Chain A
Amino acid sequence: MSWIDIGALEDIPLRGARVVKTAAGCVALFRTDAEEVFATSNSCAHKGGPLSEGIVHGRRVTCPLHNWVWSLETGEAQGADEGRIATYPVRVEAGRILIDDAAIGRRSAA
């Protein structure tokens, strides 16, 4: 794994999200009320809604288009819906957000 610095934790609003543009598409970074950070695909598996615009509650996000609820931990659809979105390794060190370069599909220079 090679971790790259994406930005500061404070750059994401509490109970909110920001987007990282990658070659493999947009990745959404979520900051929960408990100050955890999760990374998932920004695209809802239902109709492609931008998950980073959804309401973040607990460790879940609700898609703004049709209210599908996704687990940020597992990427599983919650409730009666079925489906899965990609999740990516992410960690916070000294207030900086690091994501795994390889996992999001960008070739490492090394």
Chain B
Amino acid sequence: MHDLTPITALGGTAAQVDKVADVTCTEVPEVALTSVAARLGKEAAAAKAIKKLLGAAAPDVGKFADATLNAFWMAPSQWMVEAPFDTHEDLADQAKAAVDSSASVVEQTDAWTRFDLSGGQVLAVMELLCNTDSRRMEVGAAVRTSIHHLGCFVLRRGDQDFSIYAPRASAGSVHHAIVTGMRSAL
């Protein structure tokens, strides 16, 4: 057997943490992701199946639902489901079993990487990073926007807590943009 060492999207063996003033950017590698897109004409059946899978109704436009599994809205009739990797490594299989032929499921775990930003002045950093009006985002809001010219998802998990899902292949670029933004804004 090869003796392989798992690394994070930024290439480290442990998640990278950066702190500038009172804002912390944390790399979050242990997340399983899968997208679920309702098939044409089967939206109602898909919504029902997703409700059962999540333990809550599929989130509305621009929102995320935090129940047994977390899911956020991506596009009309399309959601991303996120769960802890340790317990849900087979998330896509679980989702496919739940929705059957009512929706298409795509494994997304290694397509995205997550950065959590938190701290008292986090809004000053978010304003600099993307043109979404982050001050107006309510807790529970999820939007897709551009950060550093890359399509990223931004979730507001708390008053001072944001999660950013960035394309994993560009993890280094987005991390650079975030840390540069933190240094400029704070």
Q: Do A and B come from one complex?
A: no
Residues of B whose CB lies within 8 Å of any CB of A are: none
